[in-house]
Amino acid sequence: MPSPAEPGRGAGAAPSGVLAVVGDLVEDIVVWAGEPVRTATDTAAQVFRTRGGSAANVAALAAAHLPTRFIGRIGADAAGEALVADLASRGVDVRVQRAGSTGAVVLLVATDGEGTMFPDRGASAELSEVDAAWLDGLAWLHAPAYGFEREPMRGELLRLAALARGAGAQTSLDASSTGLIAGLGVEAAHELLRAFAPDVLFANEDEAALLGLAGGGALAASVARTVVVKHGPLPTDVITGGELVARVDVPPVSGIRDLTGAGDAFAAGFLAATLGGADVAAACATGHASAASVLMSPGAPPR
């Protein structure tokens, strides 16, 4: 199985085995502000409804390149079924539990593309007691750290990671958000990362700084085999065993309107390339191209 810790390898054979992504599938209500927000009165805007959820975003984009399975929970409602149908139409093998109400996230996107999220995760945060058969054929398990926000899903993610490792699969986590990390507490976040034991941890610049991982070192080595730190338009750093092993330039992108889902798209491209045998530099380049594909459309799905 390909390893992200081998910077000298190039692309190899077609992926073998399934990429399973565990986590959120929600409706995104995306608000593109047409001007600076004017508090307590009207602000010109465009409003879009799209399929969202960090885990679902990764699965939808990765499915174009390798067998991909989504594992999560939706509400017992029409909104959830529509989201499942969207994922399935993109080639994802969708395995969901159904209970409660499907979650939704309002994303307020400023004119510079930066977004502010107002999440109501609903059923997506209540995943528990996943059938172990849903991991059959697994080569890699990926999850957003949003699943650590509360129980029962926190414990379920750790259980699934242990099952994946026991089956010989590799694992990855996305740090998700500084708000999540601050809410958990940095030390608690470190302990959860160590318990999950990801082969790859994805983090943006702010998340890596809050976790104390940006410079590498013993702390970075203790929470993940490889830490991938994204710096927006600046080069992406790959830290393995606490040491910087690659710094990969990001091609310039013009016309950026919405940064929503760019990190998820990067993860999808990186994982698909890694499972195809690419080295970390090539995997980052694929991740950059995947991220660029979502920057001009509302929400995460490219249009």
For the ranges 79-83, 195-199, 237-241, 294-298, the lowest mean pLDDT is seen at 294-298
pLDDT at 257: 84
The answer to whether residue 109 is domain-embedded is no
Average pLDDT in the 74-95 region?
Answer: 98
In whole angstroms, how large is the CA radius of gyration of the chain?
18
Instruction: List, for residues 52-69, the tens digit of each pLDDT value.
Output: 999 999 999 999 999 999
Dihedrals phi, psi of 125, to nearest 5 degrees: -95, 5
Q: Is residue 91 domain-resident?
A: yes
Q: 45 and 31 in contact (C-beta within 8 Å)?
A: yes
Tell me which residue range forms the domain holding 181: 18-24+53-102+121-292
The span from the CA of 6 to the CA of 278, in Å, is 9
Is 70 exceeded by the pLDDT of residue 5? no
In a domain, 78, yes or no: yes
**CATH number of the domain where residue 87 is located:** 3.40.1190.20
Cα distance between residue 173 and residue 294, in whole Å:
21
Please state, in angstroms and as integers, the Cα–Cα distance from residue 27 to each residue in 74, 119, 205, following that order.
Answer: 10, 10, 27
pLDDT tens-digit profile of 223-276? 999 999 999 999 999 999 999 999 999 999 988 888 888 999 999 999 999 999
pLDDT for res 1? 44
The answer to whether residues 37 and 108 touch, using CB atoms and an 8 Å cutoff, is: yes
Verify whether residue 264 is a known catalytic residue: yes
- In the set 28, 199, 258, 264, the catalytic residue is 264
Of residues 258, 280, 260, the one with CA closest to residue 202: 280
**In the chain, where does DSSP find H-type helix?**
54-62, 78-89, 153-166, 178-184, 186-196, 205-211, 218-223, 262-275, 280-292
C-alpha span between 23 and 12 (Å, rounded) = 29
Q: Tell whether 113 is covered by a domain.
A: no
Confidence of residue 302 (pLDDT cuts 50, 70, 90): low
30 assigned to some structural domain:
no
Q: How many CB atoms lie within 10 A of CB 43?
A: 13
Predicted pLDDT at 270: 98
Number of domain units in the chain: 1
- pLDDT tier at 299 (50, 70, 90 boundaries)? low
Q: Find the mean pLDDT for residues 136-156.
A: 97
Instruction: Please write the tens of the pLDDT for every residue from 203-212.
Output: 999 999 999 9
Round the average pLDDT of the chain to a whole number and report it. Answer: 93
